[in-house]
Structure 1
Amino acid sequence: MTGIAAVFADGLLSVRMQSMTDVLSRNPHDARDQWSNGKMGLSACTLFTTAEAKDANQPHCSEDGQRALVFDGFLTNCAELRRELLDRGASLRNRSDEELVLRSYEEWGDDCALRTEGEFAFVIADCRRQTLFCARDHQGLRPLFYCQNGEALIAASSIAAVLAGLDRQPDFDYDYLAEAMVGETYSVDRTPWKGVKRLNASHCLITSPGQIEVRRYYSLPSQPIRHYRSDEEYIEAYRDVLRDAIRRTSRTHLPLAIEVSGGLDSSAIYALAHDMMGTLPAPEIRAYTLRGEAGAESDEIAFARSVTDFTDSDLTESELFRPDLDWFDAEGKRERDLPTYTNASHSILMEQAMAKDGARVTLNGQGGDQWLDGSFGYYHQTIQSRQVRRFLKNLRRDIATYGTRSSVGFALRKMILAALPKPVRLALKRSRSDYGSLMVDPVQYLDAEYAASVRSTKTSYLAALPFDEIANANARTLDAKLNQRSFDLMARQRARLGLEGRSPMCTRQFIEFAASVPEDVKFRNGQTKWLHREAMRGFMPDAVVDRPDKASFPEAKHDQAILRMCQTEMSGVLAPLVNSEQFSAFNTLRIEHDFDDIWDWPYWGCYLVTSFLQNSNER
């Protein structure tokens, strides 16, 4: 991952830029450079993940030096974008993605973000307009943070780099910390630091002296549901789209590392990539997996091995990384952020093996669960489109799977709801007792004011979503509010190892196709990912294709240590956020129940916030 930073400020430009660059340079990189003109400065610590990237020195400047770009990521539509620019008379100096993005800005101005597809975060300094233009990809797979400090704007690919460019340490954002404690981070543009913000997925930012505008540039297009004549046509079309997504994300001049967990998604990426070898824009592919404890919930090594046995290829196996709490404290302190999650850190030894073998790009199955699972929304779809025969066909399938009573009752409720006027349906939805409730409501330990704030933020987000059932689900999946922090954590973890993660199932082409497929093709006979499974039959073992579940990674290792913290220093550190009496009751509940229960995530959230506050107060 390339580290990028930008400053728009009157004073101390060189000092700010140097401090930010020093933070970025802690990660592996091939080149380091800065650019400045007047009040604007850019910095990049560049990691070359493609051969084309070597052609563009970053910051990447226009011929007259009036525009400059810093860019992290890669484009999936580079061939199409290059042809379009050439057709419009643009002069391209090299084949780099950086050149394409800079020329796109020159051609389309602020609309260039919509023209650039891939996983990216970039900043363009435009001396003619006296503006900084920042953009982040459609799913938020590359991090970008910023802070407006008076008339100055500081932006960077890490929170630590943004803080390094500020005059003083900001105050804590306790509203965000409250959300993080209970795992309800709907204020996704916020961070633990007041005023330090995350640029949302699908958004761009334009700043000029004293002014800042943030706006959405991409939403899923309104498109009709795809109706093919047969399941076979759906399967063939889906397989073609997935192959294309793999091709677009596999561009690298070094060995391409692919995660093979043994689950449906990463296994499919590897199986198809193996089948496509010789046509992929990568010299070779290599498979890597994690080896959980034998017989435990994390143990899926047999599935991963079956995939590489099926493809007659090698598999590099690594143990789960399970560090002590001191490791997480140090990780958060280094990043000036909440520490990472335990299940995110599990893959570190595997990623170290990838980097040791010379890879800089790794493909993963991120996005499969979100875009392919499907839902009972097929009743809504068939009712809305007045497809009586398809409605009855789904009902017959469900009767065979779930029984007559439950299936008919469910279908009738859907029909009655569909017949009601929209305001009535909306009122019924919002009158439900669980509308906007929090996961920890049964044992609420937040201070009443913060609990109300978190509920209000969640309810406001839900109320702003499309009312249509499928459009609502697609909008939530695209925004990925609860996943944005996870995306950032995985990006910063890989960046420390000199790796760039890529997600074929999150490409814009793939998700637009998946969102247009009828729900009864994705979810059928009580089975999620029906279309994906059938498309992959014959390309990987049936034992993987037909897996009813996936591995989980419960983390009981730290529970006793966290419990001791709860009973000693944690309640004091969290005093501004929690009701002490209710927090004590929450801890008692934890003692009385098994540790691997539904409260693990908020329990870990208490630790994350405590660690952050302790680390930050020590500075």
Structure 2
Amino acid sequence: MSAVAAILHTDGEPAAASAISAMTAAMHYRGQDGVHHQVLGPCAIGHCALHVSAEDRDSVQPLSENEASYTISLDGYVANYEELRRDLTQRGVTLRNRSDAELVLQAHILWGRECLEHINGEFAFGIYDHANETLFCACDHTGLRQLHYHWDGRTFVAATDIAGVLAALDERPAPNYGYLAEHIANGWFTYDETPWQGVMRLPRGHCLTFENGKLQRREYWELPLEITTRYRSDGEYIEHYRSLLTECVAEAGRSDRPVACEVSGGLDSSAIFALANQMDRASNWPSPGLAGFTLSAPRGTPADEARYIEALASAIGREIEAVPLFCPDLDWFEAQAQIDQRLPFLPNTVMLRGLAKAASDNGCRISLTGQGGDQWLDGLPHYYRQSLRGGDLSAFGRSFRADRRARGLAWSAAQAVRQSVVAGLPDGVTDGLRALRDGEPEIATGTHWLSGEMQRELRRRSNAFRAQMAALPTDDRPKRGKLVAPFALLVFDMLNVQAARLGVENRHPMLSRKFIEFSARTPEHIRLRGGTTKHIHREAMKGILPDKIIDRESKAHFSQTFLPYLPEMQALVAEQIHENAEFRQLVESDTVCAAFDGAKGAPIDQIPIWSLWGTYASALFLEQARVDY
């Protein structure tokens, strides 16, 4: 993954070459194929290049338009590459090279800020308009390519990594205690903040314009909420889905090096690898090779998926290399947090580091993942209500028959009757009934670990998040929640950053724009049926995946990766409670200490691992921030 850096002084002061150099130096690991800068009066733009395709090598970024009117720095790739090229050339645009950056730049010159309606992919970029001294930034629909920024009223700074932004600031910002509170409580409500006050993250599907001394942020893409794709038969849905997923995998696999696949043995990553294998065997895979890698966990543990991997390798006739879990000492996490200037990554994301290293060692610079499948394929349980509101009695009947076979007549009839009644009620009435039934919602499981002040702050964040959701129709809220889930985005970031540190770019076919839009525009009964999730995916993969995987209901568990760290985590937290007044203002000391004590010897499913790690991570961050001051 490459990196973007930009500085814009709004008072006309010339940008300093030393400042943009400091930003790219903080992200040097992303620049294996070169680091370049341009100083353009009040603006400076930098780029750290990791070339993953022949098209990338066609240009050097930052890339300027012929008349030097616009300059772009892009991290990412265009999924609809061929389509966008045709569209631009048919409109008379002369493309000077094959790079994705040239496509995005020319799209912006042609369509202005509406260019984002024409660009699909995973990307973040900044484009400087020389004549008007304005900067235009954007990130993709899911925010998979991060872009952080800071604005102090005079200077605007943006960079891929938080460390890149901090490198350009004269003073280190104060810690963002509300953000840390979310980590401790395991309650996730904000998606545009970082652990530093004033250092923001551009949200998914947003663009940012800086002109006339004002910063304007807007959402350019919204999740389609209306069900517009309906077919008469399951077969038509399945055919559409299989074709779509194959297309998404092919678009993500464009490279001039072999492409890696992370293969867990689950339904999602296995399908991506199997489809890529089919294309490779048929000589229409858009890269010169394919390699599969899987985690090798101890046999018989909850993390062991060897039997599924063996079944897949046998079925498709391709070897899948086993890679040991990466389980470093806690010192490794502390060093990582110090370098990245953020909270240490979760152990069950760091354990995947070996997959990226194996991919890199085998000459791959792209790794395809199955992330997103659990979000967009699992299905939501209001399929009866949705079918009735959409007038689809055939779908209602198919769901009822499947439920009756799986769960019996009594359960199915009760579910169908309840949802039929609710289908005729206005959303306001159903909201009221739900509030009476459920009472005051719990903010988060670890809320009581926080100080009184931080509990109030978490409640404020929770209320703001719920208010956004309440503005949507009842049936659309879970769908929107999948898109804006802050914790999922945090996990994607952790995985992407550590892969980038090894020279590998993660790509996510099941988080592509067209894949998400298909899920949003199709009814829930094609995903959740008879108590089985991912119904359409399982049906579409018959004959492609082995039955052992298609029929799989279980998932591997890696929570035990936390256990070896607990004693050292507790020691650091106890030290910070004693020595760091800022940390004591954040937590209820006695409650936190009791929680760590209670974790000793407890079964893993009874240990609040996320809050324990969030508490340790916050304590470490505040300790490192204090030292930096």
When normalised by structure 2's length, the TM-score is 0.95
Q: Does 1:268 align with 2:268?
A: no
Residue 159 of structure 2 aligns with which residue? Answer: 156
1:331 corresponds, among 330, 333, 336, to 336
> In the TM superposition, what is the alpha-carbon distance from 1:12 to its structure 2 partner?
5.4
Residue 2 of structure 1 aligns with which residue? Answer: 2
Deviation by residue 1:429-483 (Cα, 9 ceiling, x = unmatched): 4455465423315x71111221222233223222322543442222122223221
Residue 565 of structure 1 aligns with which residue? Answer: 572
- Please tell me whether the aligned partners of residues 571 and 580 of structure 1 are also in contact (alpha carbons under 8 angstroms): no
Q: Residues of 1 paired with 2:155 and 2:437: CA distance? A: 45
* Counterparts in 2 of 1:520 and 1:572: CA distance versus 1, 3 Å: farther
> In the TM superposition, what is the alpha-carbon distance from 1:349 to its structure 2 partner?
1.5
Q: Residues of 1 paired with 2:382 and 2:85: CA distance? A: 39
Q: Does 1:615 align with 2:619?
A: no
Unpaired stretches in structure 2, ≥5 consecutive residues? none
> In the TM superposition, what is the alpha-carbon distance from 1:595 to its structure 2 partner?
4.1
* Counterparts in 2 of 1:218 and 1:483: CA distance versus 1, 3 Å: same
Q: Does 1:280 align with 2:285?
A: yes
Deviation by residue 1:462-506 (Cα, 9 ceiling, x = unmatched): 232254344222212222322121122122111111110001111
Residue 67 of structure 2 aligns with which residue? Answer: 64
Q: Does 1:26 align with 2:49?
A: no
Percentage identity across aligned positions?
36
1:85 corresponds, among 88, 92, 95, to 88
Q: Does 1:401 align with 2:406?
A: yes
Q: Residues of 2 paired with 1:89 and 1:100: CA distance? A: 13
Q: Does 1:236 align with 2:239?
A: yes
Q: Residues of 2 paired with 1:518 and 1:553: CA distance? A: 32
Residue 461 of structure 1 aligns with which residue? Answer: 465
Q: Does 1:140 align with 2:149?
A: no
Q: Residues of 1 paired with 2:445 and 2:37: CA distance? A: 47
Residue 491 of structure 2 aligns with which residue? Answer: 486
* Counterparts in 2 of 1:436 and 1:28: CA distance versus 1, 3 Å: farther
Deviation by residue 1:310-335 (Cα, 9 ceiling, x = unmatched): 11112211100011111100000000
User: Which amino acid in structure 1 is aligned with residue 442 of structure 2?
Assistant: S
Deviation by residue 1:44-86 (Cα, 9 ceiling, x = unmatched): 0111111011111100101121210000010111111111111
Residue 451 of structure 1 aligns with which residue? Answer: 455
> In the TM superposition, what is the alpha-carbon distance from 1:427 to its structure 2 partner?
2.7
- Please tell me whether the aligned partners of residues 378 and 519 of structure 1 are also in contact (alpha carbons under 8 angstroms): yes
Residue 480 of structure 2 aligns with which residue? Answer: 475
Deviation by residue 1:353-380 (Cα, 9 ceiling, x = unmatched): 1101111001010111111111212112
Q: Does 1:383 align with 2:388?
A: yes
Q: Residues of 1 paired with 2:353 and 2:593: CA distance? A: 35
| TM alignment of 1:30-429, pairs within 5 A | 30-277=33-280, 278-429=283-434
- Please tell me whether the aligned partners of residues 36 and 42 of structure 1 are also in contact (alpha carbons under 8 angstroms): yes
User: Which amino acid in structure 2 is aligned with residue 296 of structure 1?
Assistant: T
* Counterparts in 2 of 1:406 and 1:453: CA distance versus 1, 3 Å: farther
- Please tell me whether the aligned partners of residues 28 and 497 of structure 1 are also in contact (alpha carbons under 8 angstroms): no
User: Which amino acid in structure 2 is aligned with residue 492 of structure 1?
Assistant: V
Q: Residues of 2 paired with 1:372 and 1:131: CA distance? A: 41
Q: Residues of 2 paired with 1:499 and 1:240: CA distance? A: 27
Deviation by residue 1:85-111 (Cα, 9 ceiling, x = unmatched): 112211111111100100111011111
- Please tell me whether the aligned partners of residues 73 and 142 of structure 1 are also in contact (alpha carbons under 8 angstroms): yes
User: Which amino acid in structure 1 is aligned with residue 155 of structure 2?
Assistant: A
Moved more, 6-15 or 461-470: 461-470
Residue 513 of structure 2 aligns with which residue? Answer: 508
- Please tell me whether the aligned partners of residues 379 and 533 of structure 2 are also in contact (alpha carbons under 8 angstroms): yes
- Please tell me whether the aligned partners of residues 7 and 17 of structure 1 are also in contact (alpha carbons under 8 angstroms): yes
- Please tell me whether the aligned partners of residues 210 and 216 of structure 2 are also in contact (alpha carbons under 8 angstroms): yes
Deviation by residue 1:236-287 (Cα, 9 ceiling, x = unmatched): 1111001111111100000111111111101000101111111121111111
Task: Provide the secondary structure at the position in 1 that maps to 2:619.
Answer: helix
User: Which amino acid in structure 2 is aligned with residue 117 of structure 1?
Assistant: N
- Please tell me whether the aligned partners of residues 194 and 201 of structure 2 are also in contact (alpha carbons under 8 angstroms): yes
- Please tell me whether the aligned partners of residues 8 and 155 of structure 2 are also in contact (alpha carbons under 8 angstroms): yes
User: Which amino acid in structure 1 is aligned with residue 538 of structure 2?
Assistant: R
Task: Provide the secondary structure at the position in 1 that maps to 2:26.
Answer: helix
* Counterparts in 2 of 1:114 and 1:571: CA distance versus 1, 3 Å: farther
User: Which amino acid in structure 2 is aligned with residue 602 of structure 1?
Assistant: S
Give the aligned CA root-mean-square deviation in angstroms. 1.8
Q: Does 1:529 align with 2:534?
A: yes
Task: Provide the secondary structure at the position in 2 that maps to 1:482.
Answer: helix
- Please tell me whether the aligned partners of residues 61 and 69 of structure 1 are also in contact (alpha carbons under 8 angstroms): yes
- Please tell me whether the aligned partners of residues 559 and 595 of structure 1 are also in contact (alpha carbons under 8 angstroms): no
Q: Does 1:551 align with 2:556?
A: yes
> In the TM superposition, what is the alpha-carbon distance from 1:570 to its structure 2 partner?
4.4
- Please tell me whether the aligned partners of residues 113 and 217 of structure 1 are also in contact (alpha carbons under 8 angstroms): yes
* Counterparts in 2 of 1:15 and 1:221: CA distance versus 1, 3 Å: same
User: Which amino acid in structure 1 is aligned with residue 612 of structure 2?
Assistant: Y
Moved more, 21-30 or 329-338: 21-30
User: Which amino acid in structure 2 is aligned with residue 342 of structure 1?
Assistant: P
* Counterparts in 2 of 1:433 and 1:445: CA distance versus 1, 3 Å: farther
Task: Provide the secondary structure at the position in 2 that maps to 1:558.
Answer: helix
- Please tell me whether the aligned partners of residues 361 and 499 of structure 1 are also in contact (alpha carbons under 8 angstroms): yes
- Please tell me whether the aligned partners of residues 151 and 209 of structure 1 are also in contact (alpha carbons under 8 angstroms): no
> In the TM superposition, what is the alpha-carbon distance from 1:210 to its structure 2 partner?
2.4
Task: Provide the secondary structure at the position in 2 that maps to 1:576.
Answer: helix
Deviation by residue 1:400-443 (Cα, 9 ceiling, x = unmatched): 322333333333332332333332222334455465423315x7
* Counterparts in 2 of 1:269 and 1:303: CA distance versus 1, 3 Å: same
- Please tell me whether the aligned partners of residues 427 and 473 of structure 2 are also in contact (alpha carbons under 8 angstroms): no
Q: Does 1:601 align with 2:610?
A: yes
Count matched residues. 618
Q: Residues of 1 paired with 2:457 and 2:376: CA distance? A: 30
* Counterparts in 2 of 1:584 and 1:260: CA distance versus 1, 3 Å: closer
Unpaired stretches in structure 1, ≥5 consecutive residues? none
- Please tell me whether the aligned partners of residues 566 and 587 of structure 1 are also in contact (alpha carbons under 8 angstroms): no
- Please tell me whether the aligned partners of residues 262 and 544 of structure 1 are also in contact (alpha carbons under 8 angstroms): yes
Task: Provide the secondary structure at the position in 1 that maps to 2:29.
Answer: coil
